[in-house]
Amino acid sequence: MSNQRLIYGFHAINARLWQNPKSITEIYVQEGKSDARTRDVLQKAADEKVRVHFADADRLNKLSKGMRHQGVVGFIDASKNHVHLEDVLENLSEPPLLLVLDGITDPHNLGACLRTADAMGVHAVIAPKDRSAGLNATVSKVACGAAETVPYITVTNLARTLRELKEYGIWIIGTDTGGDSDLYRCGLPDSVAWVMGNEGEGMRRLTREHCDMLVSIPMFGTVESMNVSVSTGMVLSETRRRRTLQSEQA
């Protein structure tokens, strides 16, 4: 199956079983395991009528390509996880909070960004198809289930998508060391799409040109920059903090 994708580990498997069980084609469980987490997976799989196979550790190691699978491996039909941006935006009960990842190529960084996005209530993560790590087993593992809960939308033309977001009244805010203002002093509109650039090169020129504002993260120590997933956590946390204060004062 061309759209088949590997997932492994209890977080990724459980999240998929609860969020989108129909996308799971089969699960492999290590034979002889009877701990509580394994029993929960087996019970949920039975409830959802997901096919389960029992296999020895060597078989699971081969299926997971040597990754730490915790005794559970699954395969999903990735085509059943496709979400359209319009579906997300038209069904929100609060102003949009989006994360745009312009060229994040490290799957560990992508997984960490998705995990943070889930924690901060991001409504969708957007990335270009041709310049991104893409969802894979490593991303799902690092994301600890967030890859199955946060809508991850890949687009063929990121610049066009940014223009469409503006038509919805969403401000495009890029992160840059030479930003117009810093994170703690800038004014944040109600509807925001934060843009994070590539780990080494930052945002592409065309992406930068579509930003309504460029914001820097103040550095108070000796290092000059931070990992993209850490920066993502900072801007999303600050945005959520301000929203919480605003709602409490309303």
Query: What is the per-residue pLDDT across 35-77, written as a single tens digit (0 to 9) for each?
Result: 999 999 999 999 999 999 999 999 999 998 888 899 999 998 8
- Residue bearing tokens 């799409």: 193
Global pTM reads 0.75
Q: Is 145 annotated as a binding residue?
A: no
User: Which residue, 163, 164, 174, is CA-closest to 217?
Assistant: 174
**Domain 4-77, architecture per CATH:** 2-Layer Sandwich (3.30)
List the chain domain ranges: 4-77, 85-249
Sign of CA dihedral 47, 54, 73, 32: positive
Residue 7 has pLDDT above 90, yes or no: no
Confidence of residue 249 (pLDDT cuts 50, 70, 90): confident
Task: Output the 3-class SS for 51-80.
Answer: CEEEECHHHHHHHCCCCCCCCEEEEEEHHH
Residue 19 has pLDDT above 80, yes or no: no
- The more confidently predicted of residues 146 and 118 is 118
Write b or e for each residue in 137-176: b if 16 or more Cβ atoms lie within 10 A of its Cβ, otherwise e: bbbbbbbbbbbbbbbbbbbeebeebbeebeeeebbbbbbb
CATH topology of domain 85-249: Alpha/beta knot (3.40.1280)
Q: Is 226 annotated as a binding residue?
A: yes
Residue 1 has pLDDT above 50, yes or no: no
Q: Is 219 annotated as a binding residue?
A: no
Residue 102's H or E segment, with its range, is strand 97-102
User: Which residue, 70, 140, 92, 75, is CA-closest to 112?
Assistant: 140
In the chain, % of residues over pLDDT 90 = 59
Q: Do strands 4-8 and 72-77 pair parallel, antiparallel, or not at all (unpaired)?
A: antiparallel
Q: In the prediction, which pLDDT does 201 show?
A: 83
Q: Are 198 and 164 in contact (CB under 8 A)?
A: no
User: Which residue, 48, 50, 66, is CA-closest to 58?
Assistant: 66
